[in-house]
Amino acid sequence: MSVNEAYITGIGQSQIGVKLDRHPLLLTVDAVKEALAESGLTIGQIDGVSTYPGRVPQMLGFSPVGADDLIDALGIKAKWYAGGGEITSQLGAIVAAATAVKAGLARHVICFRTVYEAGATAKPDEYPMMRRDRVDGGSQWTAPFNAISAANWVAQYAMRHVKKYGLTREQLAQIALTDRAHAALNPRALVREPLTMDEYMSARLVSTPLCLFDCDRYSDASTVIIVSAGDAVDEVKCTPVRIAAMAGSVDRHSWDQAEWMASYQTGPDLWKQTDYTAKDVDTVQLYDGFSFLALTWLEALGFCDIGEGGQFIEGGHRIALDGELPFNTFGGQIGAGRLHGFGFAHEAVTQLRGLGGDRQIKGDPKVAIATSGGGPLATALLLARD
């Protein structure tokens, strides 16, 4: 182990469901306990906490548990912690933790993302929806035009691919079809039934060219990633996975002013940080809150050129579990649930450790990519088992 590196040394995940009764703090504790058991660490060895986006009082379902809550609830003696949404998307919390352990600010950092967006809708008294007479900030540039959802914002970029590069719905469908095929092999996934092309093509439209199955759905779950310093890895009993490279970017957070996908900046930047190339990658876990984001990540990371994503995934064989580039092997957010970014890092580590069970990719995978965001915000991690 190199002392100047950061490693992922434990992963954990709660059950994934819709309108779960279990309190979101307890879902977080479930994921923490699983990660600790796997790593062999005790809570007393944890000296850092990092989360995205921190507790959000005006949208409690979106983020009901902050780093403060977890530190206090578990009696963590933290020397470093951070939580906030102004970062290059969800996996930015892991980038922050890796940077902190490399700087010697902490040895073992719990990184977590807890979502309770479905549960909150069932308990409006406990998790009240944001109510405003008027919109301000970035929302004022979209909400007055009823461009309310990120689906509308992503759809406009997707429409460019349709018009400029000839992306078809049949091609884009392969993201959702692959996700759902893989989710069927993941015991924890939210949706276990495969999706057919006929079902996809006849689904109701949400915002053209995106249909219902191009969108993830509100879920309740927590995912934990433990990041450790290189000189602390010998305290851990499971196979450590090195964070071999990381990159992130923001291209004007107001979606309507961003010229193109932030992933198009972050993908090439990731390769500048490492001697690995796209050819070395055994599996990709790419953010698919909307299917189109995953397609552009494939382009951004250089697996194909910008505009060729549709042809690259056509037919789905290339990105299937037994294909040349197994994709979202846990089902992605479209199949496994809206884990909001952290599920991709969790699965990359699972595959690199060979613990994927029915969905384990063949061979001896050593290099994986996990990403989050892709629109105006983007983060990419290159993970390696040395």
Give the integer Cα–Cα distance in Å for 272 and 266.
Answer: 10
Task: Compare residues 127 and 157 and give the one whose CB is closer to another protein.
Answer: 157
Binding residues for another protein, rule CB under 8 A, total 38
Length of the chain as a residue count: 386
Q: 209-248 mask for another protein (x: CB under 8 A)? A: xx--------------------------------------
Q: What is 283-341 written as a DSSP string?
A: EEE---SBHHHHHHHHHHTTSS-TT-HHHHHTTSSTTSTTSSS-B-TT-HHHHH---TT
Does residue number 265 form part of the binding site for another protein (CB under 8 A)?
no
Task: Considering the complex, state which of residue 54 and residue 376 has its C-beta at the smaller distance from another protein.
Answer: 376
Beta bridge partners of 248: 379
Residue range at the interface with another protein (CB under 8 A); choices 10-18, 198-206, 242-250, 373-381: 198-206
Minimum distance from residue 149 beta carbon to another protein (Å): 6
Report phi then psi at 341, rounded to 5: 95, -45
Torsions phi, psi for 78 (to 5 deg)? -90, 140
* Using rule CB under 8 A, residue 131 touches another protein: no
Using CB under 8 A, pick the residue from 44, 57, 104, 144 that binds another protein.
144
Give the largest CA-CA distance in the chain.
57
- 230: Cα within 13 Å, side-chain hemisphere: 13
**Binding test (CB under 8 A) with another protein, winner from 130, 135, 201, 355:** 135
Question: Which stretch in 76-84, 199-207, 279-287, 367-375 sits in contact with another protein by CB under 8 A?
Answer: 199-207
Contact status: 156 vs another protein (CB under 8 A): yes
Question: Taking CB under 8 A as the rule, does residue 257 contact another protein?
Answer: yes
Tell which one of 11, 36, 147, 336 touches another protein (CB under 8 A). Answer: 147
SS3 state of residue 255: helix
Write the single-letter amino acid at 73. A
> What angle do helix axes 24-39 and 67-74 make, rounded to 10 degrees?
70
* 248 and 95 Cβ atoms separated by less than 8 Å: yes
Residue 256 sits in the site that holds another protein (CB under 8 A):
yes
Shortest distance, position 142 Cβ to another protein, whole Å: 5
- Among 58, 208, 273, 277, the residue binding another protein under the rule CB under 8 A is 208
Q: Which residues bind another protein (CB under 8 A)?
A: 132-136, 138-149, 151-152, 155-160, 163-164, 204-210, 254-257
